[in-house]
Amino acid sequence: MRIAYLDRTVHETDGEPKPNGDVSAISKSIDLQGSVETGDKTTIASKDFGGLYSIKPLALIKPAGSGDISRVIKAASRIPRMTVAARGNGHSINGQAMTNGGLVIDMRSTEENHFRLLNINGSFFIDVSGGALWENVLTRCVSRFGLAPRSWTDYLSLTVGGTLSNAGVSGQAFRYGPQISNVTELEIVTGKGDITVCSETRNPELFFGSLGGLGQFGIITRARVKLQPAPDMVRWIRVVYTEFDEFTRDAEFLVSRDDGESFDYVEGFVFCNNDDPVNGWPAVPLDPVHGFNPGIIPQTGASVLYCLEVAFHYQKGDHPSSVDKAVAGLLKRLRFVEGLKSQVDLSYVEFLLRVKRAEEQAKANGIWDAPHPWLNLFISKSNIVDFDQTVFKKMVKDGIGGPMLIYPLMRSKWDNRTSVALPDSEIFYLVALLRFVSRGPSVEESVAQNREIVEWCIKEGLDFKLYLPHYQSKEGWKRHFGDQWTRFVERKASFDPMAILAPGQNIFKRTHLS
Ligand code: FAD
């Protein structure tokens, strides 16, 4: 079923004849070690965090491991029109982990299958399940080994397979690249049902195809993730700018500096120059006791202002004055509005779990479960001033009912061999409009505004890509992948000739590959 307020949705999946699958016969024939849910018990798989689509699967499979997944895929390939989608933690926005009348594989049931520390030539790695939550990877790695992955997402109740299928970016990516630049080996059950181990040197087409591959090459059952010593503490700092060019100049200065000569995390966001509790000044202070003093904002301040958010890692044993000195040395190079600075010190784990605390509050206020028509873009440095002038300063100047993130990333930290489509320039920005509709424009208005922004980017010829992409037409996907289109389709066809891994995105149907 399509939710009524969205008219450009999954027409083709809706109208399609459903496969003739008899679930109990399938599970008996393949001797499943895990379990199969049908009827009302599949409800969780018919929705996602976006809350924009409702798409009912035939069954929800809870596999015991790779063997089950392989057998399910092989059985599905024998049933005409049957589709299979992997579901991580269902935090997509546009139904990416859903399939209409098909089989959804719930990867969370495999969380415990892998957790092994490896020391390879003096470097540490952790083998984890594709269905593991990053927050569990974090807490287990830090508490058991004092080690941690290097690159994160802001929010960690996401699965390893779910973020590796997209990219996985946060404020550490300028230094270490996205999460997909921080894995060295994957185990994948391909669209043929083969259980395959791949890396840069072993089945490299499958390895690079799957990284950022939108779940289209197979199901990631294990990932080998690079680790580094975990710091004990983080100083988390926010500073405010009135001028966009000063904000971007400082952010780009920080992300371009060598390791050891910058902060360990760099992000930023846009907020309204008013006292709105969600969109305005109150969204900025990290330390609510000291608040935000709007009297300091220069008269030149426009309708929106900019906040640079940085973090500095240190150890408990470090002398406080040495931490103060190092942080002050970095801050003195920046041109933020003097007096508009806020900071807190917290443990490294608490810092990485900061959005979980926000989630707990949002759940308590009843806003977490409302629809989230989010828009995520990568925009070239050469177009970011235009984007600010038109989108931030005009289209969304009154706020969106949630954070409007903007921070620079370095293309050289990404691997061109993966499936992710990026803008051309070395520095490009992640822009994320994270809408909570219960506090901002309605779903219809939000969806229309997102569409208007994307259409404006296309009309103006901006060098940009959607992050966490979703298109309803082959033309949309071809434009998205550009020069990489042929490689993506050929790679996919070689690992998934039946094209059965179809997460509600019509470009990935068999017909488009023929
Ligand atoms: P799902 O939504 O379940 O699946 C996503 C896609 O991956 C689907 O296509 C699915 O079929 C496929 N998939 C899932 N598991 C596997 C697997 N094991 N093998 C192969 N394919 C698989 N992203 C960032 O990069 N940075 C952020 O800071 C960030 N913050 C977020 C904060 C919130 C509150 C939310 C809701 C999302 C955020 N995201 C962020 C986006 C997030 O990374 C993606 O939506 C991600 O796909 C969600 O992971 P999931 O485990 O819920 O995957």
User: Does 88 contact ligand 1 (Cβ within 6 A)?
Assistant: yes
pLDDT value, residue 428: 98
pLDDT value, residue 11: 34
pLDDT value, residue 508: 46
For residues 187 and 184, give the distance between their C-alpha atoms in angstroms, rounded to a whole number. 11
Place of tokens 């009309």: 459
Beta bridge partners of 428: 380, 409
User: Does 105 contact ligand 1 (Cβ within 6 A)?
Assistant: no
pLDDT value, residue 9: 32
Instruction: Give this prediction's pTM.
Output: 0.94
Residues in the chain where the model's pLDDT stays below 70? 1-21, 301, 497-514
Contacts of 453 (CB under 8 A, 6+ apart): 375, 377, 391, 395, 433
User: Does 504 contact ligand 1 (Cβ within 6 A)?
Assistant: no
User: Does 177 contact ligand 1 (Cβ within 6 A)?
Assistant: no
Pocket-testing residue among 61, 83, 92, ligand 1, by greatest number of atoms within 8 A of Cβ: 92
Q: Quote the ligand 1 centre to 215 CA distance (angstroms).
A: 10
For residues 167 and 409, give the distance between their C-alpha atoms in angstroms, rounded to a whole number. 12
Contact between 102 and 83 under an 8 Å Cβ cutoff? The reply is: yes
Range 75-105 burial, b when 16+ CB lie within 10 A, else e: bbbebebbbbbbbbbbbbbbbbbbbbbbbbb
User: Does 162 contact ligand 1 (Cβ within 6 A)?
Assistant: yes
Pocket-testing residue among 100, 108, 166, ligand 1, by greatest number of atoms within 8 A of Cβ: 166
User: Does 503 contact ligand 1 (Cβ within 6 A)?
Assistant: yes
pLDDT value, residue 63: 97
Catalytic residue ranges: 91, 154, 267
pLDDT value, residue 431: 98
Q: Cα(first)–Cα(last) distance of the chain, in Å?
A: 28
Pocket-testing residue among 53, 155, 406, 429, ligand 1, by greatest number of atoms within 8 A of Cβ: 155
Q: Quote the ligand 1 centre to 221 CA distance (angstroms).
A: 15
pLDDT value, residue 6: 31
pLDDT value, residue 19: 59
User: Does 172 contact ligand 1 (Cβ within 6 A)?
Assistant: no
